[in-house]
Structures are given as C-alpha cells and as structure tokens.
Copies of this chain bind each other. A is one copy, B any other.
Amino acid sequence: MIENWFSERYSDNLQLSFRIKDQLLSVKTDFQRIDLFETYDFGKLLTIDGTVQLTEYDEYIYHEMITMLPFFSFRIKPDSALVIGGGDGGTASSLLKLGFKKVTNVEIDSQVVDVSKEYFPEISSAFSSDRCTLIIDDGIEYVKKTKEKYDIIIVDSTDPEGPAEGLFSKSFYSSIHKALKKGGVMVTQSGSPFYQPKALKLATSGIRSVFSEVLTYCAFIPTYPSGFWSFTIGSDLPISRKEKIKRGKYFNEEILRGAFLLPEFVRKIMS
C-alpha cells in the first residue's frame, strides 16, 4: 500500500509527519506557497511554505490564546481590533465571538483568504460578518498610514523569515504603538522558544523598545514545532485582569494566570 505523508522539517534533522488522505490544493502565490491536505488525525491541514499554519483539530488552541488571553488580561473594551496577517480568519472570528464591534483584518495574500473561505468555513466565518472588514494590503504599510485607533492589535504572522520579517521589527512595533488607543494592547505570536529563540528575542527586545510593559506567555500547540509556542504582549499599562472571563476549549482561568509563568530556559532567551 502506498502511504502519503506530509512532513514539516523543524531542522535538517527532525520532522513531524502527518499521514494524509489527499492533497486538496497546492498553489504558488505572489508571496508564498500554500498547500492544503486532508489528514487522517487532524482534519484539514493548511501549510504555508511547508510549515503548518493550522489544522482543524487543534487550531482552537492558537486562536484562543492569541485573542482570549490578552483580552481577559487587560480592561480594554471590545470595540475595535486590528489583525495583521491571520488570513485564515481564525483570529478575527475569535475576536467577534468575544463581542468586538469592529474587527479590521489586513492580510497581504488574498489567496490565503480564498482558501480559508472555501475549505475552513467556520474558522473564516468572520469574513462574512458585517462587523469585520477585510483589507488586502501589506500590514506594515497599513499600520504606518492608518488614522484609526484600536483597542487591540494582533500580529498573527508566519515566522520571521520571508514575507513576515518586517513584522518583527522595531519600526513596525512603533507604528503599532501609534495606532493603539491609550492603554491599548498589542500581541504577536513569537515562535517556538525551543526551535526559534530568535523570533522570541526579536519580539521581546523590539516590543521593549516601544512599550513599558512586555509580557511573554506560552501555550502547548501539538502541531507546531516542539509543541510549545510563545506569544508576546506590549502595553503601556500593567496587567489588569477582567473579572468575568469566558472559557474556551484550552483557555480558562488557570491558563489566564499560568500561561505567563515560564520555564527557566525561556526566561534566559528573553533576558
């Protein structure tokens, strides 16, 4: 019997492989290569340039943690949010579920959006809501020029190689700061501390140069390299948790506090 596997190489010497039923799509866009697989264990799997972006089965962890955790950690209102990247729509959809009145999603690659609309109708449901505005543009340019002010800005990017490199730069974080309301909050995914310490270092040092409060938190994501992922928050106000919080399938009151408590090797990367 022929077995078909998709493998993500974490390095030249380590890989995680998913057995697949079928490859549904493979397209080279102006920015990147998008592949879509039907796996046996994780439902549909979306990859960009060979790295796992999401699977149907565990995407909730990433999307809950990049939205619910910062939202419930600060007293910001669910008024206006900006998402940079996140063309699958999962982050925007999660923000709408939290009650945000207006979500602007700026994605550079319209084909990521198209694929998600076709194959991940639930995850991309935000794009059919009148509370969500989709803009196909370079996020860096958009944030630089926007006159809007947001309660929260979420950078839901790929790794800091290729098109997302500028999303880990000090000048980008400075533009974000200007596009936030007073006391607003930014959050970015900052990679696997184990395999991509550079991403975490870039994010924390860059955000520190602009914001007075910089907080890294981690979550377990089984289909991302090493199964352990970091996110970094920037704000000018300290943490002030909301009193009433919602639970997700991963997120809860314990995670609201516990995700900020980090292993020694992660602290060392950030120091």
Contact = CB atoms under 8 A, between A and B. Distances in A.
A66 to B, nearest CB: 15
B15 A16 contact: yes
A205 interface: no
A29 B19 CA distance: 32
A98 to B, nearest CB: 16
Contacts of A222: 194, 226-228
A23 to B, nearest CB: 15
A194 B194 CA distance: 20
A2 interface: no
Count of this chain's copies in the oligomeric assembly: 2
Contacts of A24: none
Interface residue range, chain A: 35 or more
A176 to B, nearest CB: 27
Interface in A1-32: 7, 11-19
Nearest to A256: B261
A197 to B, nearest CB: 13
A222 B196 CA distance: 13
Given A12-B19, A41-B14, A228-B222, A255 B247 contact: no
A269 interface: no
B13 A40 contact: yes
A262 interface: yes
A72 interface: no
A252 interface: yes
Nearest to A226: B222
Contacts of A264: 247-252, 255
Nearest to A219: B263
A251 to B, nearest CB: 7
Nearest to A224: B227
Interface string A222-239: 100011100000000000
Given A222-B194, A250-B264, A264-B251, A17 B14 contact: yes
8 contacts: A13-B18, A13-B41, A220-B220, A252-B264, A254-B261, A254-B263, A258-B259, A258-B262
Interface of A: 7, 11-19, 39-42, 61, 194, 218-220, 222, 226-228, 247-252, 254-255, 257-265, 267
